[in-house]
C-alpha cells in the first residue's frame, strides 16, 4: 500500500478571489445592497466584457515582461471598420465582423513584426500604434459617430441567450440559466474528482479534503450567486458566453500547452529560453498578433453594446487591461501571472467602478481610488514576496 501524500493548497493563487469577494461585500454594505440586485449583476458583466477580453490578451504580453499600449486605439479602429461597413455599405454583419478581426490581425502582425523581427521594444512600437491607430480611426470616421447598427449585430454586445421563464413564488425564473449553472457545477466537481483520481493513480500528493471542500464551496457559491441573479433578470448575456469561452481557452493555453509554457519561460529568462530551443522571436510575434485579434473582438463587443462606433471609443482601455493583469498578480518583469488572475483583476476594477458610481462618487474620485488600488495591490504583492525572500 502506497503511503498517501498530502500537501496544503497554495493559498496565494486564491488571494485575489478573496480580495474580489471582499471588495464586493464592502460595496454592498456601502450601497446597502444596491450592487447585489439582479439588474446590477447583469450590468457588471455586460459593462466589463471588453476589459476582461483585453485583460486576457494583455496577460500574454505582460507574461513576456512587456505591455501593449495600442490596445484602446485598436479597439476603436476595429469598431470604426464595423461602423463604416454596417452603416455606409450595409454589408452582412458576418462580413463586418470578419473585416474587424482582419484589421485586428493585421495590426497585431504589424506590432509583432517590429517587436520580433526588428527587435524594437514593445513599449515604443505600441506607443506608436496607439497614436497611429487613434489617428486612423478619426480619419476613417471623419471624426463622426456611425450608427445605429442592426439588431442582429447589437445582440453580440447587448443580447441574451434565449430564456424560458417559469414562475416560482411569484417571481419569473429563467430555467436556462439554472440549467447552465447546474451543468457548470457538475463539470467543476467532475474536474476536481478527476484531478484527485489522477493524483492518486500517479501517487502524487493530494490536498486535504477539507481544503478542497472549502475551495469548491466558494467557487460553486460564486457561480450560483451570479446565475441566480441572472436567472431573475434577463437570463445569460451573450457577452458572458464570449468572455467565458475566451477566458477558458486562454486558461487552457497558458496552463496546459507547450506554447503557454514557452511564454512563461521567455518572460522568466529569455536567454535561457532561447538556449533551450524556444524560438523567442516566434513567441513574441504570436503574443502580439494575438493581442491584435483580442482588440478586434473587444471592439466588436463594445460597438455592439453601444450600437454605434465613435472615434473616441476605447480611450484608456489599455490602462484598464494592464492594471487588471497587475492587480491579478502578474509580475512587471514577466514570467508570472495567470489568466484567471487577470479576469479576477478585471472584475475587481469593474466592481470598484460600479460600486463607486452607485455610491455616488464622481468619475474623478473613481480614478483616484482605482490608481490607489493598483498601487496598493502591487505593493502588497511585492513586499510580501520580498519578505519571504
Partner 1 sequence: MSDVILEMKKITKEFSGVKALADVQLSVKRGEIHALCGENGAGKSTLMNVLSGVYPYGTYTGDIIYNNEVCQFHNIKESEAKGIVIIHQELALSPCLSIAENVFLGNEQTSVKGVINWTKTKSKAKEMLAKVGLEDENVNLPVNLLGVGKQQLIEIAKALAKKVELLILDEPTAALNDEESKKLLELMLELKKQGITCIIISHKLNEISYVADSITIIRDGKTIETIEKEKEDFTEDRIIKGMVGRELTNRYPKREDVKIGKTIFEVKDWNVFHPEEAERQMIKNVSFHVREGEVVGFAGLMGAGRTELAMSIFGKTYGQKIQGSIKMHGKEVRIKNVKDAIQHKLAYVSEDRKNYGLVLIEDIKRNMTMAALKKFFSKNGVVNKNEEILAANKFMKKINIKANSIDQKVVSLSGGNQQKVVLAKWMLTQPDVLILDEPTRGIDVGAKYEIYCVINELAKAGKAIIIISSEMPEIIGTCDRVYVINEGEIAGELNEYEVSQEKIMQCVMAHNRKGE
- Does residue 63 interact with partner 1 by CB under 8 A? no
**For partner 1, the closer CB: 123 or 204:** 204
- 371 neighbors 319 (Cβ within 8 angstroms): no
Q: Which of 88, 202, 362, 364 binds partner 1 (CB under 8 A)?
A: 202
Give Dmax over CA atoms of the chain in angstroms.
75
**Beta bridge partner(s), residue 171:** 168
For residue 251, the minimal CB distance to partner 1 (Å) is 13
**For partner 1, the closer CB: 273 or 327:** 273
For residue 253, the minimal CB distance to partner 1 (Å) is 9
**For partner 1, the closer CB: 165 or 282:** 282
**For partner 1, the closer CB: 111 or 266:** 266
Contact residues for 273 (Cβ-Cβ < 8 A; gap 6+): 262, 265, 266, 280
- 206 neighbors 199 (Cβ within 8 angstroms): yes
What x-and-dash track marks residues 302-331 binding partner 1 by CB under 8 A? -----------------------------x
For residue 291, the minimal CB distance to partner 1 (Å) is 20
**For partner 1, the closer CB: 29 or 204:** 204
- Which of the stretches 101-109, 122-130, 198-206, 231-239 binds partner 1 when contact is defined by CB under 8 A? 198-206
State the sign of the Cα–Cα–Cα–Cα dihedral 198, 200, 201, 203. positive
For residue 53, the minimal CB distance to partner 1 (Å) is 23
- 68 neighbors 111 (Cβ within 8 angstroms): yes
CA distances from 361 to 28, 317, 349, 354, 365 (A): 15, 21, 15, 10, 6
Interface positions, 249-288, toward partner 1 (CB under 8 A): 256-259, 261, 264-265, 268-269, 271-279
Which SS3 state, helix, strand or coil, does residue 176 take?
helix
**For partner 1, the closer CB: 254 or 324:** 254
| Integer Cα distance of 274 and 281 in angstroms | 9
For residue 280, the minimal CB distance to partner 1 (Å) is 10
Residues, the chain: 389
- 267 neighbors 334 (Cβ within 8 angstroms): yes
Interface positions, 148-177, toward partner 1 (CB under 8 A): none
Which SS3 state, helix, strand or coil, does residue 173 take?
strand
Q: Which residues are at the interface with partner 1 (CB under 8 A)?
A: 7, 198, 202, 204, 256-259, 261, 264-265, 268-269, 271-279, 331, 335-336
Amino acid at each position: 500500500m502506497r503511503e498517501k501524500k498530502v500537501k496544503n493548497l497554495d493559498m496565494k493563487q486564491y488571494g485575489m478571489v478573496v480580495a474580489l469577494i471582499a471588495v464586493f461585500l464592502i460595496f454592498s454594505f456601502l450601497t446597502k445592497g444596491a450592487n447585489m440586485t439582479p439588474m446590477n449583476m447583469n450590468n457588471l458583466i455586460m459593462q466589463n466584457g471588453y476589459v476582461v477580453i483585453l485583460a486576457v490578451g494583455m496577460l500574454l504580453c505582460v507574461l513576456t515582461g512587456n505591455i501593449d499600449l495600442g490596445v484602446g486605439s485598436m479597439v476603436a479602429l476595429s469598431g470604426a471598420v464595423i461602423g463604416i461597413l454596417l452603416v455606409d455599405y450595409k454589408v452582412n454583419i458576418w462580413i463586418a465582423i470578419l473585416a474587424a478581426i482582419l484589421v485586428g490581425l493585421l495590426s497585431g502582425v504589424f506590432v509583432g513584426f517590429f517587436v520580433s523581427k526588428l527587435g524594437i521594444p514593445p513599449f515604443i512600437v505600441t506607443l506608436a500604434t496607439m497614436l497611429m491607430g487613434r489617428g486612423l480611426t478619426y480619419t476613417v470616421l471623419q471624426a463622426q459617430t456611425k450608427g445605429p447598427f442592426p439588431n442582429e449585430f447589437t445582440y453580440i454586445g447587448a443580447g441574451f441567450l434565449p430564456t424560458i421563464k417559469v414562475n416560482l413564488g411569484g417571481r419569473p425564473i429563467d430555467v436556462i440559466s439554472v440549467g447552465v449553472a447546474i451543468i457548470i457545477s457538475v463539470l467543476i466537481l467532475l474536474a476536481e474528482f478527476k484531478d484527485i483520481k489522477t493524483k492518486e493513480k500517479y501517487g502524487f500528493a493530494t490536498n486535504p479534503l477539507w481544503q478542497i471542500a472549502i475551495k469548491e464551496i466558494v467557487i460553486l457559491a460564486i457561480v450560483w450567486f451570479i446565475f441566480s441573479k441572472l436567472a431573475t433578470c434577463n437570463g445569460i448575456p451573450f457577452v458572458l458566453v464570449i468572455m467565458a469561452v475566451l477566458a477558458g481557452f486562454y486558461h487552457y493555453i497558458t496552463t496546459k500547452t507547450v506554447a503557454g509554457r514557452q511564454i512563461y519561460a521567455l518572460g522568466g529568462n529569455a536567454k535561457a529560453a532561447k538556449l533551450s530551443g524556444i524560438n523567442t522571436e516566434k513567441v513574441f510575434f504570436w503574443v502580439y498578433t494575438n493581442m491584435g485579434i483580442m482588440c478586434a473582438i473587444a471592439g466588436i463587443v463594445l460597438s455592439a453594446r453601444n450600437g454605434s462606433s465613435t472615434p473616441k471609443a476605447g480611450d484608456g482601455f489599455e490602462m484598464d487591461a494592464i492594471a487588471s493583469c497587475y492587480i491579478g498578480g502578474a509580475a512587471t518583469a514577466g514570467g508570472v501571472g495567470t489568466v484567471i488572475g487577470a479576469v479576477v483583476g478585471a472584475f475587481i476594477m469593474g466592481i470598484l467602478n460600479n460600486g463607486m458610481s452607485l455610491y455616488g462618487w464622481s468619475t474623478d474620485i473613481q480614478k483616484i481610488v482605482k490608481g490607489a488600488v493598483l498601487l496598493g495591490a502591487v505593493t502588497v504583492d511585492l513586499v510580501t514576496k520580498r519578505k519571504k525572500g
